[in-house]
Structures are given as C-alpha cells and as structure tokens.
Amino acid sequence: MLNSLTIDQALNSAKGNGLTPLDAQLLMLHALGRQSAQRAWLIAHGHEPLSKEALRRFEEHVHKRLDHVPLSYLTGQKEFYGLSLQIDARVLDPRADTETLVDWAIELIRAQLKCSGSSKPQILDMGTGSGAIALAIKANISECSLWALDQSQAALEVAQKNALALNLDIQFFQSQWFKALALPGPKICPESFDLIVSNPPYIADQDPHLAQLAHEPITALVAHEGGLSDLIEICTQARHHLHFGAWLLLEHAYDQSQRVRETLQNLGYTHVQSRCDLAGIERCTGAQWLKMK
C-alpha cells in the first residue's frame, strides 16, 4: 500500500530518482487535475497530503517518464508556438527546435503578403503529425490557405482534432509525400504552392539516440540512407509543386545541413541557406525555386 506523502515529499522523491524539477511539477499538477500553468499553486500547497489515488497516478507517470515516455504523452498536452496541442503516442512529441522552422515560414509568408497585396499564399505542410507546424502558421497568419498531409491516418486524426479545438481552418489529407497530388480525379489541393514546409523523418536507423525515442512512432523518426532518404525525395519532387519564386523549408538533424544544401544546389534551387536553432545548431535548410515550368 502506498504511504501518505505531502506534495513536496512526493516531488522531492521524484527528483531524487532523476526526474527534472519541471517534469515533476507538471506531472504532479496533472495527477491533481490542475492546469500546467499552476506551478505557483504547488509551492503554496506543498505541505498538503496527497490522496492515495493522486499519489498512485503521480508515481506511475514518474516511472514512465524515467523510461523516456514523452511528457506530452502522459499529460496529453504540449505547448508549441503559443498553442496548446493535444498529443498522444500516434504522433511525435513536438520539439522546441521546430519553432525555428515556423519562424522562417512566417517570415517568408509575411514578406509575400507585403509584396503581393491581396493574393492569398498557398502553403503545404508535409508530414504534419500533430499539425503543430501548420497550426502555428495559420494561427499567426490567417490570410494564408493551408494544406497539410501525412501518410498516417492516425496522425491526421490527432491533427484534425487539434485544428478543431483551436478553430483553425486547415485542409488535411493522407499521402506518402507528393503521391496523392498525382492521382487522377478531383484534386484535393493545388498542384503548386507558394511555400512547402516539412519536418520529415531524418534519423538514421542505427542512430544511438533512437533508444530514448522508443515510445514515439518509428515511421515518423527514421529514414534510409543515413536519415536522408525522405529529405532527398522531398527536395527532388518539390520542384514540380512550387510556384516560380516559392520556397522549400526543411528541418533536419544537427549534422545534415551541408548535405541538404548540396542536394538543393545540385537540383537547381537558388538562395540555399540554413538557419540555427536556439542552441546555435543548423537545424533548418531552405531554398527558393526560380525556374519556369
């Protein structure tokens, strides 16, 4: 039988077992049925005893978190670019690094709106997962038309649920990269876009970091050719789906920027460049398409 502990005692025990103070506090708030923004409440009520049920939930989640289960899978929520997303094991846990990609996309779309006036930029998010990138763009620039695809129907269900909860108008559809755009019959989206953005699988199948990602969907993480196969395919096929002057933006691993730049240059893209995340690591690479079809 679980012993009765105060909030502070349970938190200290979790931290003593290796959990970070922030994770411990967020799991405690979740176990108590409180919002993640109520961390100050924990400080003021740390002396209060936990019910056996709350302690059981907390200790169960602490054990899973120490086993590298993403915090968002345990709480069911993740903050991303100022949005509260509903997250579960059907999709990747959104990373703060990906906000670099969103920053760049928003910058380009705003520049286009400033130049074109009334035209409505058409944006495609490839491999949308939880919808994090598409939702963040739409929440900040309502004037754009946005489509988002994923090969996983389960992931699309999560993304659609988030879009509905946030009241953001995005058209989601299932596709293995660009394949659905080539199907005969009525088109589910435009054939070309003003911006294509993607955070595709880019981890090599022998990467030692995969052991800490065992609870996340492997198909959204791993790519062949040392993690580069999906990045190369997107670079290659995107040329046929970009308007003149449109941009392609990609997230990639910490050590892949040079290879992605070389791929884009060899395929005929211009203004090829990379951007760093908050840690100073080249995390995103993009380029402009300036050839007529």
By DSSP bridging, strand 270-276 and strand 282-288 are: antiparallel
Instruction: Among 43-47, 116-120, 280-284, name the one with the lowest average pLDDT.
Output: 116-120
Q: How confident is the model at residue 183 (pLDDT cuts 50, 70, 90)?
A: confident
Tokens of 191: 């054939």
Q: Which domains are seen in the chain, by residue range?
A: 7-67 (no CATH), 96-288 (3.40.50.150)
What is the model's pTM?
Answer: 0.94
- Which pLDDT score, from 0 to 100, does residue 117 have? 66
Does position 274 have pLDDT exceeding 70, yes or no? yes
Q: How confident is the model at residue 224 (pLDDT cuts 50, 70, 90)?
A: very high
CB neighbours of 21 closer than 8 A, spacing ≥ 6?
11, 15
Instruction: Among 101-110, 117-126, 148-157, 220-229, name the one with the lowest average pLDDT.
Output: 117-126
Q: Are 50 and 6 in contact (CB under 8 A)?
A: yes
Does position 106 have pLDDT exceeding 90, yes or no? yes
Distance CA 288, CA 244 (A): 9
Of residues 246, 241, 239, the one with CA closest to residue 112: 246
Q: Are 97 and 274 in contact (CB under 8 A)?
A: no
Does position 209 have pLDDT exceeding 90, yes or no? no
CA angle 112, 146, 195 (to 5 degrees): 45
Residue-wise pLDDT for 126-170, tens only, equals 999 999 999 999 999 999 999 999 999 999 999 999 999 999 999
* % of the chain with per-residue pLDDT over 90: 87
Does position 182 have pLDDT exceeding 90, yes or no? no
